[in-house]
Amino acid sequence: MVTINCLRGVPKITYTSTPKITISKPVVSLFSKRASPLVAIVAAASFSSMSYDTELAAAKKAASLAARLCQKVQKALLQSDVQSKSDKSPVTVADYGSQALVSFVLERELPSESFSLVAEEDSGDLRKESGQETLQRITKLVNDTIANDGSFSVPTLTAADVLGAIDCGKSDGGSHGRHWVLDPIDGTKGFVRGDQYAIALALLDEGKVVLGVLACPNLPLASIGGDSRHSSDDEVGCLFFAKVGAGTYMQSLDGSSPIKVHVSTTENPEEASFFESFEAAHSSHDLSSSIANKLGVKAPPVRIDSQAKYGALSRGDGAIYLRFPHKGYREKIWDHAAGCIVVTEAGGVATDAAGNPLDFSKGRYLDLDTGIIVTNQKLMPSLLKAVRESLDEATSSL
């Protein structure tokens, strides 16, 4: 039996990668409003100078293995794979299996670090009598994926091991220490439909996103921009990864050589195309349409599920991503952390509707103004203006 231990307290922050840097408690104050601009610059530079190579390699391996598991399940999706949580969103065998596998891989690849994971799922439903059959299927899937990979020499995981791995995701994150942030299947509705989804994994260090990986098994390697044409022969399966200060790269999930990617450089809003959520329940399509009209955007929206939108945007498939959830919805950090750094390291900008940077240091939720907008630096001023005007009109019409 393999025992999986999770330390849910504040991790000890000692970095073993080169150059070796140990951060002590006073660093936390560097990000406070009382810190001088010079001190803040020095603090930000320290993150850029860190390597994070070991952590990035572990994250890529974890996300890639989770993608293999998800691909296997999606190809043979059975009705019994889909459960219903209390919030009515679908949860799949692959969702739980992906989280267990990522948790397992990160702890195996980074054994010297205290482990904190902020993730979407918990094992509550699987511990019930009605979840036992599903748990056994998840356990088999995880073990089969590990065995087929061949790089881990470990005993077969038990159902208890898998439950423990899933529940490693109960951390609340925050501004102190290191926290991995995971959405094991972002876009579960897309997954169930046989459409786009992503395994989204990021690392927070002192509240800042320092690396991110997006595994997008159904995203074509070629552009999905509005003018592109696709066939069933198009190669699919993309892995995007980014590290603070090092840019964003894309490779195939099969392991091709990475290529550096960059967001669209278009300056003319009329030439810009934009992404939005496939599901109208996830974002206001009417508001997005109003903003696009004010900008003079001519192309129709590209609607796809999941953080695959961030990956597509990072390589210039479109120029704008708009997300305006319905009133009362609170954004979770795992829905945006990996995608945010993938886009920003590719030269993009991600803010809330008021132009404030996204803050991932407040725990499991993002505190933000109204919605999320992502674009390149040249289009952001005109986009913010259109967003404010459209929001004002929407408010006055109530």
Residue type, 178: R
Measured in whole angstroms, the distance separating CA 153 from the mean position of its chain's CA atoms is 29
Q: If we measure between CA atoms, which residue out of 186, 176, 241, 251 comes closest to residue 212? A: 241
**Rg value, the chain, Cα:** 21
Question: Of how many residues is the chain composed?
Answer: 398
Give burial (CB, 10 Å; 0-12/13-18/19+) of 233.
exposed
Is the separation of the CB atoms in 108 and 152 below 8 Å?
yes
Q: Which two tokens stand for residue 89?
A: 């969103």
User: Annotated active-site positions, please?
Assistant: 95, 188
Rounded CA gap, 139 and 219, in Å? 27
Give 277's strand partners.
Answer: 304
Measured in whole angstroms, the distance separating CA 65 from the mean position of its chain's CA atoms is 16
Is the separation of the CB atoms in 302 and 226 below 8 Å?
yes
Is the separation of the CB atoms in 178 and 11 below 8 Å?
yes
One-character DSSP codes across 88-145 = --EEEHHHHHHHHHHHHHHHHH-TTS---EEES--STGGGSGGGHHHHHHHHHHHHHH
- Where do we find the tokens 């990160």? 106
Supply φ then ψ for residue 391, to 5 degrees. -65, -40
Instruction: Output the furthest CA–CA distance in the chain (Å, rounded).
Output: 63
Q: Which residues are within 8 A (CB) of 254 and not within 5 positions of it... i.e. 6 or more apart?
A: 237
